[in-house]
C-alpha cells in the first residue's frame, strides 16, 4: 500500500510554524474479551506511547478482558452502552440509546453498564459513556451526570464542551474503516484529505481545537491496511503538534522527546 502523506505533512508544518498544539486521543470500540487483535492493539499503543480508551460492551465483557486491562496501563476502559443492541425500528439508523424504548429502561441500561464495569475494573474505569453507533438522544444525555458519568463521546466535532452541567463531551473525528462499503480501509488519499480539512478547521477556528482530536478504531475488524494506516497516522501526529490527552487524567501531557 503506497500512501502519499505529503498533504498532511504540509498541514502539520503549518501548525509547527504557528506554534500550535493539537490535543490528541485514541478510542477503540467493541471490546468484550481477549483476542489476538486486542494483543496487537495493546502492542501498538505501547509502541506509540499513546493510551487507548477501550470502549467495553458491559453485558458481554468477561474476566479475561478484566485481567488483561488490569495488567495493561495503556488501556483505559470506558462504557460502551450496555449490550450494543439495536432498538431502532426498521428504516432508521441503528441505535441503542435513542428514544425507541421507555426512558426508564434506557437509563437502567446506562446505569447497569457503569455499575458492571465498576465491579470489573474498579478505579481503572473511566466514567465515559460511548453510545453504540455514536448515537444518543439529547434527553438521555441530560440524565448521564446523575448516573455517575463525567464524559460523553460520540463522533464529529462537538457543538459544546459541556452539553449539560457536569458532562464533558469529547468526540472522535477520524475513522479509517469503510463501514458502508468494503469494510476495509477507506482510500488513504480520502482519509488524509479528511484529516487535513479537520485540522485546518481547527487552525482557522471554525471548530474547537480545545476538543481533543479523536482517532476511532475497531480492533476486531482491522485488516493489515487498517492497522498500517492507523499506526502511520498516529505516528505522524505524535511527531508533529500532538499533545496526548486522556480522560483518565482529564488533562494533557506532551509526548516524551
Is a pLDDT exceeding 70 seen at residue 199? yes
Domain that holds residue 42: 6-241
Which SS3 state, helix, strand or coil, does residue 96 take? coil
**Closest to 219 in 3D by CA, of 15, 44, 10, 8:** 44
> Domain for residue 29, yes or no?
yes
pLDDT band at 250 (very low <50, low <70, confident <90, very high): low
Contacts of residues 166-169 at CB distance under 8 Å and 24 or more positions apart, as own/partner, are 167/141, 168/250, 169/211
- Cell numbers for 47, please give them: 509502541
Spatial neighbors of 174 by CB under 8 A, at least 6 apart, are: 191, 194, 195, 198, 213, 214, 215, 216, 233
Residue 246 lies in a domain: no
For residues 244-252, give the mean pLDDT. Answer: 73
In this structure, is residue 46 part of a structural domain? Answer: yes
Q: Is residue 249 part of a domain?
A: no
Cβ contacts of 71 within 8 Å, gap of 6 or more:
none
Residue 11 belongs to some domain of the structure = yes
- pLDDT value of position 248: 72
Residue whose cell numbers read 452541567: 165
pLDDT band, very low/low/confident/very high, at 249 (cuts 50, 70, 90): low
255 domain residue, yes or no: no
Q: Which residue has the cell 473525528?
A: 173
pLDDT band at 256 (very low <50, low <70, confident <90, very high): very low
Residue 154 lies in a domain: yes
What pLDDT score does 216 carry? 98
Confidence of residue 72 (pLDDT cuts 50, 70, 90): very high
Q: How many domains does the chain have?
A: 1
What CATH number is attached to the domain comprising 233?
3.20.20.370
**Does residue 121 belong to any structural domain of this protein?**
yes
pLDDT of residue 257: 38
Q: Tell whether the model's pLDDT for residue 51 goes beyond 70.
A: yes
pTM value is 0.95
Amino acid at each position: 500500500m503506497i500512501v502519499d502523506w505529503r498533504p498532511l505533512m504540509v498541514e502539520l508544518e503549518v501548525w509547527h510554524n504557528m506554534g500550535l498544539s493539537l490535543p490528541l486521543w485514541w478510542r477503540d470500540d467493541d471490546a468484550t474479551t481477549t483476542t489476538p487483535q486486542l494483543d496487537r492493539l495493546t502492542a501498538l499503543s505501547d509502541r506509540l506511547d499513546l493510551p487507548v480508551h477501550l470502549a467495553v460492551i458491559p453485558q458481554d465483557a468477561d474476566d479475561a478482558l478484566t485481567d488483561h486491562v488490569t495488567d495493561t496501563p495503556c488501556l483505559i476502559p470506558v462504557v460502551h452502552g450496555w449490550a450494543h443492541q439495536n432498538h431502532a425500528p426498521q428504516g432508521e439508523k441503528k441505535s441503542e440509546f435513542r428514544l425507541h424504548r421507555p426512558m426508564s429502561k434506557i437509563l437502567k441500561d446506562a446505569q447497569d453498564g457503569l455499575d458492571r464495569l465498576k465491579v470489573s475494573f474498579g478505579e481503572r474505569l473511566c466514567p465515559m459513556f460511548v453510545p453504540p453507533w455514536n448515537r444518543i438522544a439529547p434527553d438521555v444525555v441530560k440524565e448521564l451526570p446523575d448516573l455517575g458519568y463525567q464524559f460523553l463521546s460520540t463522533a464529529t466535532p462537538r457543538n459544546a464542551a459541556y452539553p449539560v452541567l457536569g458532562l464533558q463531551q469529547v468526540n472522535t473525528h477520524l475513522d479509517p474503516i469503510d463501514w458502508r462499503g468494503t469494510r476495509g480501509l477507506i482510500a488513504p488519499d480520502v482519509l488524509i484529505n479528511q484529516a487535513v480539512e479537520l485540522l485546518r478547521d481547527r487552525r482557522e477556528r471554525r471548530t474547537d481545537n480545545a476538543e481533543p482530536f479523536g482517532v476511532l478504531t475497531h480492533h476486531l475488524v482491522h485488516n493489515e491496511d487498517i492497522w498500517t494506516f492507523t499506526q502511520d497516522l498516529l505516528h505522524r501526529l505524535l511527531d508533529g503538534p500532538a499533545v496526548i490527552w486522556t480522560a483518565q487524567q482529564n488533562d494533557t501531557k506532551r509526548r516524551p522527546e
